[in-house]
Structure 1
Amino acid sequence: MKKFSSERFLEIFLWFVSLSMGLSLLLTLKDMIFEAKNEAFLALEIVLGIVIVLLPKLIAKIFKLYLPPVLYIFFALFIYGSVYLGTIYHFYSVVLYWDKGLHLLSGALLGGFSLAVAGALLDKTVIRRLSPLFLSLYSVAFAVFCGVLWEFYEFTCDSFGMNLQRYMQNGHLLLGRAALMDTMGDLIADFIGAVLFACFIYRQVKKNDSWLTTFFFHKL
């Protein structure tokens, strides 16, 4: 019943995401055609957002793969919040701590993805012998490591004049602790999101060790 519920919720949420982004695309095209607004880049961003959200479902259908619904829900929420609401509708600048909320979500998303990676690399009997505490610690370590890699990416981009790590404000360089606030805040949010999901993993595996298989990709 739980599996059915999560898959049903995923279908409803994907319909909501597709319809809301599709409506935004139509309104953007209307402004371009009838009001001569130069919003071609905005339209492209919306199209890319729709493609990114639906691409995993398309790949799973083509290759007949089982797509873990909870993992897909986290992924769709993250893309909707970052690409659609964050970038297209500027929630990053309008909503306080929007970026940190997405890092919390990404910590949980990457924690779930760590289970999928374990399922792909390890024998299923080996995984079932692993303790819930080890699996929880592993998921936190995996998520935080990916968060660090993301900060490496932002740091590299900032070397070419960007400001992804918010080390500048109004064109002026920040100094000392102020320059570290965005990066450290992102990493702390990643960690908290990963720990919260790790607690959920611990509880679920304690109750039923076969629960892990709901995060494994496999052929249908």
Structure 2
Amino acid sequence: CWQLLVQKQTSSRLLVLEIGAGLLLVILPALLSKWLHVRLPAFLYFFFMVFIYCSIYLGDAYRFYYVPYWDKFLHLISGALLFGAAWAVLGCFKFGDDADLPAGFLCLYGVAFAVLCGVLWECYEFTCDGLFNMNLQRYLSGGRPLLGRAALMDTMGDLIADLVGSLLFACWSYWHLKGKPEWLESFFFKKYDPED
């Protein structure tokens, strides 16, 4: 009974820590924007807030991670979010009116960036599982390691969801870019004068 109480207190503390970190993550981009005098792309900031709300508040606090495919839904959102982040990074390199890259190449770059970030996230989960005896990649079931294909299902499902999310966003973006090439710049960070 005592062990169960200690485990529940530890779980509650971890939840409070995660929610606090989530609140900080939501506020951090706005603070950085103010300190660095940069306007955030509204579309990206909205996607970011939705992702944090769904993953930390709903996922952890309300245990939505026990809802089937909730994690895959979050990876779909993160694929689109990371696609947009790829274009924001492109804007940091002074890419603009003078460069004329084809819409297809821009979309391919966005998908590649999103999938690379998904792979790096899975490397992080793999490392945490090994170093801290966690189960982020869902390779344990009932405390026992899964074997063969069953052990790969979570990781490969996450990577496929990242790919599908970025591809869906790429199709939508391609259509927008073909009609209005300057739409790309809505993803760029823009400096502003604090005196204005």
TM-score of the superposition, structure 1-length normalised?
A: 0.78
Given that 2:41 and 2:186 are in contact with CA atoms closer than 8 Å, whether structure 1 keeps it comes out as yes
**How far apart in 2 are the matches of 1:83 and 1:153?**
18
For residue 165 of structure 1, the aligned residue among 108, 117, 137 is: 137
SS for the counterpart of 1:159 is helix
Could you report, residue by residue, the CA deviation over 1:32-90 in whole angstroms, capped at 9, with x for unpaired residues? xxxxx954543333232222112111221222211000000111011111111111221
Aligned: 1:216 with 2:188: yes
RMSD: 1.5
Extract unaligned runs of 5+ from structure 1.
Answer: 1-36
**How far apart in 1 are the matches of 2:128 and 2:160?**
21
Aligned: 1:133 with 2:104: yes
**How far apart in 2 are the matches of 1:150 and 1:209?**
31
Q: Residue in 1 aligned with 2:28?
A: 55
Change (3 A) 1:197 1:172: same
SS for the counterpart of 1:125 is coil
**How far apart in 2 are the matches of 1:208 and 1:172?**
53
Q: Residue in 2 aligned with 1:79?
A: 52
Structure 2 letter corresponding to 1:202: Y
Structure 2 letter corresponding to 1:205: L
Could you report, residue by residue, the CA deviation over 1:158-206 in whole angstroms, capped at 9, with x for unpaired residues? 1122111111101111111100000000000000000000011101110
Extract unaligned runs of 5+ from structure 2.
Answer: 1-7
Structure 2 letter corresponding to 1:57: A
Q: Residue in 1 aligned with 2:93?
A: 121
Change (3 A) 1:57 1:171: same
Could you report, residue by residue, the CA deviation over 1:75-117 in whole angstroms, capped at 9, with x for unpaired residues? 1011111111111221101x11100000000000000000001
**How far apart in 1 are the matches of 2:119 and 2:175?**
27
Change (3 A) 1:177 1:99: same
Q: Residue in 1 aligned with 2:5?
A: none
Aligned: 1:67 with 2:40: yes
Q: Residue in 2 aligned with 1:198?
A: 170
Given that 2:15 and 2:60 are in contact with CA atoms closer than 8 Å, whether structure 1 keeps it comes out as no
SS for the counterpart of 1:124 is coil
Given that 2:65 and 2:71 are in contact with CA atoms closer than 8 Å, whether structure 1 keeps it comes out as yes
**How far apart in 2 are the matches of 1:211 and 1:112?**
12
Structure 2 letter corresponding to 1:109: L
Q: Residue in 1 aligned with 2:80?
A: 108
- Tell which deviates more after alignment, 111-120 or 44-53: 44-53
Q: Residue in 2 aligned with 1:90?
A: 63
TM-score of the superposition, structure 2-length normalised?
A: 0.88
**How far apart in 1 are the matches of 2:14 and 2:86?**
34
| C-alpha displacement of 1:122 | 4.3
